[in-house]
């Protein structure tokens, strides 16, 4: 096993650990761990809500999820010799649930969860159709996920970090805050909000204290969106065997990671749409000096996906176009066309006995594939959702015999709040 450089004790909260990570982006958050180019090492990662979500049949914890405190990230990790303009090479050697802990109260101890946030608490991709809070618990066994809340489905997970990236420079951070603040100003009272401004409340900033903590907390960017440094990209194929080339914006790069997922469909469409868990990552790092200029990677990481995806070979695909549910034509709106493709898949799965929310949860957690299939044929963008048929224990394809009817079981817990 590679050297463990960022340990986490499952019996302690994130802020009580020997090495405390962070949940904001800022160049002045100290790196409490150092590695060298060429090193391999292990990092423990906590589930993004730090244990606030429980293995039960209530969704009240999702309704009241402490979004101001996410994501709890392991890092920053200093890579000696990294300078602005370099490319940081990160190889994912291995990634998985919490090691040697197959049962317990923390997501990653033999189980994980998928959630739909209420619209008032962030919503999701289909928040107009699903405005309430829901939760599904998934059990892990032999790399396969099953759920008491979504019966007749089992699939192999593509374990991956939802979030990994380097620290922004002060100039890049200021750019983020300015452009996102301008967006918020266009509709400051929107629910859910257009973006998340800096928020000192619930900020975790490593070992910073006092006036320096207050200054950084007032400037630091939230970790919810992906940005030029990588961040919360939620790419399901960024898994074991992947090699990522991250732009370096500050000395020592300051690499951080977390938000591990046991599995996820393309788009993480329920927002908390992956199977969330804590776990570990084994990484190897190296540098390409001056690589940002050499390869034209001035922003946003380039990566080579791993080769450990489950080998599903048969799919049922659903398409959607950029026309709203009430018939309004939109111009090449790929976001809308992907929504419509997802809604078509949800309508279809309901014919087999699933509820709409069960079908939505399948699309968020199972390894579906989402594609932009046409973006040039005005006025309609076309998006497609590919559903692997082998994840069901019945024939989900259309046939002359009609849809097989499943017992939907206890269903998906919905918050009564």
Buried b (16+ CB within 10 A) or exposed e, 386-408: bbbeebbeeebeeeeeebbebeb
Pair 84, 169: CB distance under 8 Å: yes
Average pLDDT on 319-337 reads 97
By CB neighbour count within 10 A (0-12 exposed, 13-18 middle, 19+ buried), where does 263 fall?
buried
Report percent pLDDT > 90 for the chain. Answer: 95
Pair 168, 180: CB distance under 8 Å: no
Buried b (16+ CB within 10 A) or exposed e, 362-374: bbbbbbbbbeebb
Q: What is the mean pLDDT of the chain?
A: 96
Query: Is 1 a residue whose pLDDT tops 90?
Result: no
Q: List, for residues 125-167, the tens digit of each pLDDT value.
A: 999 999 999 999 999 999 999 999 999 999 999 999 999 999 9
Chain position carrying tokens 């739909």: 116
pLDDT of residue 108: 98
pTM of the complete model: 0.96
Average pLDDT on 205-212 reads 98
Q: List, for residues 185-202, the tens digit of each pLDDT value.
A: 999 999 989 999 999 999
Buried b (16+ CB within 10 A) or exposed e, 298-322: eeebebebbebeeebeeebebbbbb
Q: List, for residues 14-68, the tens digit of each pLDDT value.
A: 999 999 999 999 999 999 999 999 999 999 999 999 999 999 999 999 999 999 9
Residue 352, classed as helix, strand or coil, is: coil
Q: Which of 324, 341, 322 is nearest to 333 (CA)?
A: 322
Average pLDDT on 223-232 reads 97
Q: How confident is residue 311, by pLDDT bands cut at 50, 70 and 90?
A: confident
CA distance 300 to 293: 13
Q: How confident is residue 416, by pLDDT bands cut at 50, 70 and 90?
A: confident
Pair 242, 304: CB distance under 8 Å: yes
């Amino acid at each position: 096993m590679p050297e463990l450089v960022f340990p986490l004790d499952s019996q302690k909260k994130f802020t009580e650990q020997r090495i405390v990570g962070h949940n904001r982006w800022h160049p002045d958050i100290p790196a409490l761990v150092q590695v060298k180019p060429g090193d391999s090492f292990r990092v423990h990662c906590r589930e993004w809500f730090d244990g606030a979500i429980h293995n039960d049949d209530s969704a009240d914890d999702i309704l009241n999820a402490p979004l101001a405190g996410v994501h709890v990230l392991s890092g920053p990790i200093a890579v000696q010799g990294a300078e602005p303009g370099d490319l940081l090479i990160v190889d994912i050697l291995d990634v998985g649930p919490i090691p040697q802990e197959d049962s317990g109260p923390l997501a990653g101890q033999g189980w994980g969860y998928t959630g739909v946030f209420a619209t008032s608490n962030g919503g999701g991709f289909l928040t107009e159709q699903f405005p309430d809070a829901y939760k599904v618990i998934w059990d892990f066994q032999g790399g396969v996920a099953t759920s008491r809340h979504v019966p007749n489905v089992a699939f192999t997970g593509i374990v991956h970090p939802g979030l990994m990236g380097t620290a922004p420079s002060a100039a890049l951070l200021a750019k983020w805050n300015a452009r996102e603040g301008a967006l918020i100003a266009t509709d400051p009272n929107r629910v859910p909000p257009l973006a998340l401004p800096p928020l000192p409340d619930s900020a975790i900033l490593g070992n910073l204290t006092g006036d320096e903590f207050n200054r950084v907390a007032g400037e630091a960017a939230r970790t919810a969106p992906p940005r030029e440094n990588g961040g919360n990209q939620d790419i399901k194929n960024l898994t074991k065997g992947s090699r990522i080339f991250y732009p370096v914006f500050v000395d020592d790069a300051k690499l951080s990671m977390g938000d591990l997922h046991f599995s996820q469909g393309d788009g993480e469409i329920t927002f908390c749409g992956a199977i969330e868990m804590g776990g570990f990552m084994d990484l190897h790092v190296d540098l390409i000096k001056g690589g940002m200029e050499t390869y034209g990677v001035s922003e946003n990481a380039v990566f080579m996906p791993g080769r450990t995806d489950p080998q599903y070979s048969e799919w049922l695909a659903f398409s959607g176009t950029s026309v709203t549910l009430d018939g309004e034509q939109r111009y090449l709106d790929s976001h809308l066309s992907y929504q419509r493709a997802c809604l078509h898949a949800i309508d279809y799965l309901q014919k087999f006995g699933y509820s709409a929310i069960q079908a939505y949860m399948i699309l968020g957690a199972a390894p579906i594939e989402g594609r932009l299939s046409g973006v040039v044929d005005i006025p309609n963008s076309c998006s497609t959702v590919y559903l692997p048929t082998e994840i069901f224990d019945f024939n989900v394809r259309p046939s002359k015999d009609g849809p097989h009817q499943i017992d939907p079981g206890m269903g998906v817990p919905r918050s009564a709040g």
